[in-house]
Amino acid sequence: MKAFVAAALLASAAAAGAATEEVITIPTRPGVTVSYLLVRDPSATPKIVVVSFVGGFGAIDLGRRAAAGPVKFGPGTNFLIRVRGSFADADFADAIVDAPSDQLPDGMRDEFRLGPEHSADIRAVIADLRKRFPDARFYLVGTSRGTVSVAALSVSLADVVQGAVLTSTLSVRDKVGATLTGFDFATIKIPLLLVHHRQDGCFASPYAGAERLAKRFPLVSATGGNPPQSGPCEPQSAHGYFGLDAAVTSAVRAWMQGRDYPREIP
């Protein structure tokens, strides 16, 4: 089955240079489609493709947004959407994944993020991306509740991805779900990087949770940034690295490229 592309190709307001954004929708499971926002420099062939998973319920609703015209996001948007331009240049492309059609409009619960249907969807997304970029390396990146997806996919898709990054990892059960409280991190065998803000005030993602995982995986710890302009679990706060976009993405890029990267930000 061939992918079909939404008629929304535009200059990225977030990215420097000639980066473009394109909403691509592909069939995954029977009767189910998944859309992703591909952010790239069309004049370059990326060496690394970042596959990004936002927080909350992961429902970006890209198909509806694209049907209405160029996809736009407000200033309070998710951290990984906000920094998408940082992963779109000669070396990187970014694919921001929406919730599948059978989980819209409400989005994905933790049980779905941890389950086989989500894995099947993302395997299909990566297969589509690999057709476009056959020589690229693929890295999963999740923030906040997106870390539930990336932790599980780091195990089930270990044969098709080269590494993963968890930012603002959810390690405490909350009213929405179990988060990663029951996940066995020993099952992750691919390279994995943790990024966490020392002042993260979100109940479900305390810095102490990342510290515990740092016994097994490398950790980049952030401090400071801009004064919060949102709640403690929202993007315009320490939880979303507000005011530290460039420093955080620079560290993540360096790690993916196998270069030296800071363990402390700033």
183, exposed or middle or buried, with CB in 10 Å at 0-12, 13-18, 19+? buried
pTM of the model: 0.93
Q: Where are the beta strands (DSSP E) in 155-238?
A: 163-167, 192-197, 219-222
What whole-number distance in Å separates Cα of residue 47 and Cα of residue 264?
A: 26
Domains of the chain: 4-265 (3.40.50.1820)
3 — pLDDT class (breaks 50, 70, 90): very low
Integer CA distances (angstroms), 85 to 38, 45, 170, 224, in order: 11, 16, 25, 22
CB 130 within 8 A of CB 96: no
Residues of the chain above pLDDT 70, percent? 94
Q: What is the pLDDT of residue 18?
A: 77
- Residue 17: predicted pLDDT: 53
User: For 59-68, what is each residue's pLDDT tens digit?
Assistant: 999 998 998 8
Query: What does the alpha-carbon distance between residue 66 and residue 24 come to, in Å, rounded to a whole number?
Result: 10
- Is residue 228 within 8 Å of residue 236, measured between CB atoms? yes
Q: How high is the pLDDT of residue 5?
A: 37
